[in-house]
Structure 1
């Protein structure tokens, strides 16, 4: 910030007083092109909250968390994605920025008696706070958005325990369900096009609120099973009072306009002229092999076939390495002890394969700018800035059905588990344009319902493509799928949380250290001690999950 001497401002100030008859200086300081917080229309704030929350969510689920749950791996700039080398500086400030805007939205909506906007604000507050506590553990909640306290800016908020945060989220979603229970005609002030999720539809927002209730009740199922059971059973038993998302047409999703890098699908090859961000994301071998084993029709929607398959032929002369008819033929001596995959259609990158993952499968151009023709690239749709399948998906019908299938298998009154399992698969296939394959897919012995939670969570993991955060939280809660860290990973097991950032530990030292002290140190915490991605937050403490 620049500093100025008193003389430099005195004469202009006197001149201003002469010209404007010394009007109240607050009037002179008003920005004619700005909007004051105390007078802003809630509909001006809403689009920023919705778009920023959706972008934050898809950036997690398509980037590093997709690496954690082994949907994808990267073959360059890969250590954070593949190996969980997160460096202890994961920043929650962007999430709290969203919450501050959302708090203003709520306050202005209350002042103007706009119940639709209040309900939407409570849903988004719950979604973002849920994300924060799911990612980090204990976090500022009660005091986080209080601004000034006693005339002093509240820059050192206390951390609330996860149990308190989840309870607050559930209470806010209950309130949102009530606020959003009227027909659209009964709400003043709705502007359809500022609502980039649902176009101003209160009924769909209400379904989102109640579907998030199911998510967070299930999140508590290991720690507070009685609360989780009662909450889910209450929702299922009162369909009129608690409508939920049961059709993919009601999914909470946001498309991308694609007009600039900031409003486009992440890692696209339109605004990234080199295409490097798209190029270095590959399907993970764990995911590819599961999809192949199930003959899953979504694989071809999500990935391209290998450009140049490898063929190892023992009848070839020694030192043979040649391309014939689009295939690379190798004699066994050229392969040696290298780990390779000769699948002629889809090849994934093994998890945490090595410090140089770009070298996998005998890539002729390893390195940061590699182009590996022997590993499957993502489908070309992911090069685009926008498209009908390129959406940030915050919660879906598939997820809701899988939650209810799991609840049913736990013996809770949540409907028929088999019906929900099959509906979850069908919703996901429909979402990815392969709904016509449902009958053949579900008829396979490996897909047909076998009455196990393992099968439900694995299908939920598959359906979570590009929304991998929920798959991570499910894995942490259940240990399913049975994912294993690779040889180059920072630890021998998958992480269970984000690190508290160093700024928080230094500036808000006492409160942050108190939160760290409540984390359960494990054998994998190692030198990071309490503030480790392998120290367990409350939600998994005492559960013996996921490891």
Structure 2
């Protein structure tokens, strides 16, 4: 992983990267041939920045939907009413594929193709790395949308069709896997000519081919485990093939993680912006489990409540607490995820009623409940004194911990090397270590670095110490915790495995409104088709085909329905 340089980001955003200036980028929109002036590596960097700068997704998809649905968080006063039916502005990832990521990565290959024939072989690795990133993002979009335009897409300004056909999810996943296999094989082959390296234009791995091999293999496993739910033979064949690779082609430490790192300002400063999580509460089921098991990640995920001894003393002085009140041992208290609990008068009075005391002209609010750790999501978030954070922003794609948990789950099925217990424990350790790196690197507030003794002790806790009889439950529960920064993956885990659930190690209790159990959505709602859409025929065909998928839902806009891989 490489730290993104402020000057590179600035140059990209201003359109002044190296051989091209601002006018070049204006010209590109008017004349596609002007793109020839842009070095291929510029478009790779532009794509990665576009992919990771989707702050609307942070607000709408993470904070408003997948995080409360998966009980990573609640609103300020707990989950309210039929909150699982909030589908508006679901996600920006679909549009970003065609305007910012997929099209820009497609440019990389087209720019290379326009170079002199003698120069083109120097860019083979760069093109294949672009294919890996494009395959990931297409998978990420299709994962919740189903059929999408891919095989015919991105070609319009190069003389290709402006009405691309839609690939079914089943066909798309097979094509993406094939592309990843080709990329891996190419990157593993010693080039016959010195390659033009991506270097700092690759903020994941600095252009290191072998690191991209590891990332691509991890992605193949993630995709294949989705496929296996709908087509066990096809998914397991891919898994078996991947696991036959040499150990050097796999992630083996947190240093191999597929993670974008940037300055604090990349995810926002102060207390404004779409990534600002300051009104999001910690969720009670997760907090209770982490507190009970002495999880070392608890202060990386959440903030302590307001009952510090200093604040208690202020409340005593204001006669709002009795003299002699001491700071409680437990200051991590979660918010109620069930709307019917959150509306009870006794709970509102005890948990959601903030005590206030005025000192001079300053009002101090003392809150019973914890919030999300703000700098975990917005590294530039200002501290209580108003000073903006100056740490790092971490935006993971696939962490080493996730790779370990996938291997642990597969080991339960007798696939691959190593035992489920060993991979599970490696996943727990690496997850804690990674969040500890984030804790220090992002300068999380009220954070204490983890010790080796804490990790050792955690692995002996009931519910954490590996129990073969609860193997899948424990593996998926820890994977769920690890996805705190990747709620859409926690959502996918739940759809694929059925964990977490009301009785799992880390529980996901049922939620109700007016006595009715709420249904958690399973896919993105599909928009209405306009007859003025230039690709209306292909879109209608795609919708009609998806409507035949078992469990698709009552209509295209029904987010409680399923895509192909999410087989009932």
The residue aligned with 1:7 is none
- Please state if 1:116 is matched with 2:125: yes
Shift of 1:401: 0.8
Contact 1:347/1:376 (8 A) holds in 2: yes
Question: Is 2:500 aligned against 1:500?
Answer: no
Does the CA-based 8 Å contact 2:65-2:87 persist in structure 1? no
**1:300-345 deviations in Å (ceiling 9; x for gaps):** 2221111139xxxxxxxxxxx933479799xxxxxxxxxxxx9942
**Aligned in 2, Cα 1:287/1:343: closer, same or farther, shift over 3 Å?**
farther
The separation in 1 between residues aligned to 2:324 and 2:302, in whole angstroms, is: 19
Change (3 A) 1:347 1:32: closer
Range with bigger deviation, 50-59 or 466-475: 50-59
Secondary structure at 1:390 match in 2: strand
Is it true that 1:447 corresponds to 2:464 in the alignment? yes
CA contact (8 A) 1:122 1:173 kept: yes
Please state whether the residue corresponding to 1:465 is helix, strand or coil: helix
Give 1:43 shift: 1.4
In 1, Cα distance between the equivalents of 2:466 and 2:374?
33
1:365–1:128 Cα change, 3 Å? farther
> How far off its partner does 1:438 sit?
2.0
What are the within-5 Å matches in structure 2 for residues 164-179 of structure 1? 164-179=171-186
Structure 2 equivalent of residue 51 of structure 1? 49
Task: Say if 2:374 is the partner of 1:349.
Answer: no
- Answering whether residue 495 of structure 2 is matched by residue 476 of structure 1, we say yes
Match of 1:464 among 475, 479, 483: 483
Could you say which residue in structure 2 is the equivalent of 1:130? Answer: 139
Instruction: Give the Cα–Cα distance (whole angstroms) in 2 for the partners of residues 207 and 81 of structure 1.
Output: 42
1:238 aligns with 2:245: yes
Aligned partner of 1:375 in structure 2 is: 369
Deviation of the 1:512 alpha carbon:
3.4
Asked if 1 retains the 8 angstrom alpha-carbon contact of 2:63 and 2:277, the reply is no
Q: Is the 2:264–2:391 Cα contact (8 Å) retained in structure 1?
A: no
Contact kept in structure 2, 1:519 and 1:537, CA below 8 Å: no
Counterpart for residue 353 of structure 2: 363
- Offset of residue 457 of structure 1: 0.7
- The offset of 1:129, in angstroms, is 0.5
Specify every segment of 5 or more residues in structure 1 that has no aligned partner in the other structure, as ranges. Answer: 1-29, 310-320, 330-341
Q: Distance in 2 between matches of 1:32 and 1:394?
A: 29
Post-superposition CA distance 1:245-298 (Å, at most 9, x none): 121011111122234xxxx225x53555xx993321221112212222322110
CA 1:269–1:377 in structure 2 vs 1: closer, same or farther (change >3 Å)? farther
Shift of 1:67: 2.4
Aligned to 2:256: 250
How many Å separate the matches in 2 of 1:328 and 1:126?
55
Q: Is the 8 A contact 1:389 1:432 kept in 2?
A: no
Q: 1:182 to 1:270 in 2, by over 3 A?
A: farther
CA contact (8 A) 1:521 1:530 kept: no
Taking a change above 3 Å as real, the CA distance of residues 76 and 143 of structure 1, as seen in their structure-2 partners, is farther
1:106 corresponds to which residue? 109
Aligned mates of 2:539, 2:435 — CA distance in 1: 42
Note closer, same or farther for the CA distance 1:533–1:68 as it changes in structure 2 (3 Å cut): same
Write the distance in 2 (CA, Å) between the matches of 1:391 and 1:299: 18
Q: 1:301 to 1:230 in 2, by over 3 A?
A: same
Distance in 2 between residues matched to 1:509 and 1:214, nearest whole Å: 34
Find the aligned partners of 1:32 and 1:389 in 2 and give their Cα distance. 29
Q: Distance in 2 between matches of 1:187 and 1:293?
A: 55
Higher mean alpha-carbon deviation, 120-129 vs 352-361, is at 352-361
Match status 1:42 vs 2:51 = no
Residue 93 of structure 1 corresponds to which residue in structure 2? 95
- 1:519–1:535 CA contact under 8 A, matched in 2: no
Taking the aligned partners of 1:276 and 1:76, their CA distance within structure 2 comes to 19
Cα shift at 1:52: 1.9
Whole-Å separation in 1 of the counterparts to 2:169 and 2:194: 34
- How far residue 212 of structure 1 moved from its aligned partner, in angstroms, is 0.5
1:157-182 residue CA offsets vs partner (Å, 9 max, x unmatched): 33221101110110111111122225
Long gaps (5+) in structure 2:
1-22, 29-33, 115-119, 309-318, 357-363, 381-388, 437-449, 502-507
Question: Aligned pair in 2 of structure 1 residues 131, 216: CA closer, same or farther (>3 Å)?
Answer: same
Q: Do residues 487 (structure 1) and 512 (structure 2) align?
A: yes
Q: Is the 8 A contact 1:254 1:393 kept in 2?
A: yes
Query: Aligned residues, how many?
Result: 477
User: Match for residue 313 of structure 2?
Assistant: none
38-47 vs 276-285, greater mean Cα deviation:
276-285
Matches within 5 A, 1:519-534: 519=547, 525=553, 529-534=555-560
Q: Secondary structure at the match of 1:480?
A: coil
Alpha-carbon separation, structure 2, partners of 1:450 and 1:126: 36
On the 8 A contact 1:520/1:537 being kept in 2, the answer is no
Displacement after TM superposition at 1:408 (Å):
1.0
What is the CA–CA distance in structure 1 between the aligned matches of 2:152 and 2:145, rounded to whole Å? 17
1:540 matched to 2:566: yes
After TM superposition, the score normalised by the length of structure 1 is 0.77
| Kept after mapping to 1: 8 A contact 2:225/2:235 | yes
Paired with 1:79 and 1:389, the residues of 2 have a C-alpha distance of 33
Moved more, 293-302 or 127-136: 293-302
TM-score, normalised with respect to structure 2 = 0.74
Take 2:79 and 2:262, find their aligned partners in 1: how far apart are those partners? 26
**Quick one: distance in 1 between partners of 2:25 and 2:232?**
55
Counterpart in 1 of 2:150?
141
1:180 pairs with 2:183: no
Range 174-183 or range 294-303, more displaced? 174-183
Change (3 A) 1:479 1:31: closer
1:423 equivalent to 2:420? Answer no
Q: Is the 8 A contact 2:82 2:518 kept in 1?
A: no
Q: 1:70-98 deviations in whole A, cap 9, x for unaligned? A: 11222289879953401376442122211
